[in-house]
A and B are shown apart, each in its own frame.
Chain A
């Protein structure tokens, strides 16, 4: 079974621009979560999508948004980029079977650099 894939793997943008990152979950997984990893803050939860609906949201400004498509693929968008948005953005998918604890499986991440 193919793992979680993320595109692009690397991205360089300048301040003020916007960016869209893509994530394809493991086949059959319905939940997709996004995390930001920075050296100072570690891994921080951005949001989670399930059945095309945002179900959970972390403490990030409205510049960070996302969506999920009917095939469970997800995109994350960051508008008006700031230098502090430079980070590794990780996507994770899980089965989210009711009544079961669900391990999340991570993709390799997209390394975003804002200049």
Chain B
């Protein structure tokens, strides 16, 4: 049973436009969400996170939106740059001291110059 789902395996956008990556979850115990970026042959790099007490968190070009009622979160990248091309993973955790992250299967973003 996949608790965190990224239904789009790939996404292609033009440089300068907005990239929107989506993630859905099923476990209502999740209360902390993270986005990671991964290049080939490297470990995931932390991008941005959001706790369930918020509905938006912004860091530079990256904004994460959380809709708890829909169990849905999204990552917006504005403006998109060719260097953003990577695989993006959504992850979730249920607190209580747990460091266990449940990951989606990732979305490969390609930003075309």
List chain A positions with a Cβ less than 8 A from chain B. 4, 31, 33, 35, 42-45, 48, 50, 55-56, 58, 90, 92, 94, 96, 98, 101-109, 111
| Bound Cα distance A9, B41 (Å) | 10
- Among A31, A43, A96, A103, the residue within 8 A (CB) of B46 is A103
Q: Show 10 A/B contacts (Cβ-Cβ < 8 Å), sorted by A.
A: A42-B106, A44-B103, A45-B101, A58-B100, A101-B32, A103-B46, A104-B34, A106-B46, A108-B42, A108-B43
| Bound Cα distance A106, B38 (Å) | 10
For the A-B complex, the count of residue pairs with Cβ-Cβ distances under 8 Å equals: 66
| Bound Cα distance A92, B100 (Å) | 10
Contacts of B99 in A (CB 8 A): 31, 33, 48, 50, 55-56, 94, 96, 102, 104
- Max chain B Cβ within 10 angstroms of own Cβ: one of A43, A108, A111: A43
Q: Known pairs A4-B43, A104-B101, A108-B43; list 7 more (Cβ under 8 Å).
A: A45-B101, A90-B44, A94-B99, A98-B97, A101-B49, A106-B45, A107-B43
Contacts of A58 in B (CB 8 A): 100
List chain B positions with a Cβ less than 8 A from chain A. 32, 34, 36, 41-46, 49, 51, 89, 91, 95, 97-106
Contacts of A56 in B (CB 8 A): 98-100
Contacts of A90 in B (CB 8 A): 43-44
| Bound Cα distance A71, B32 (Å) | 28
Contacts of B45 in A (CB 8 A): 106
| Bound Cα distance A16, B45 (Å) | 33
Contacts of A33 in B (CB 8 A): 99-101
| Bound Cα distance A43, B43 (Å) | 11
Nearest CB in chain A: distance from B49 CB, A = 6
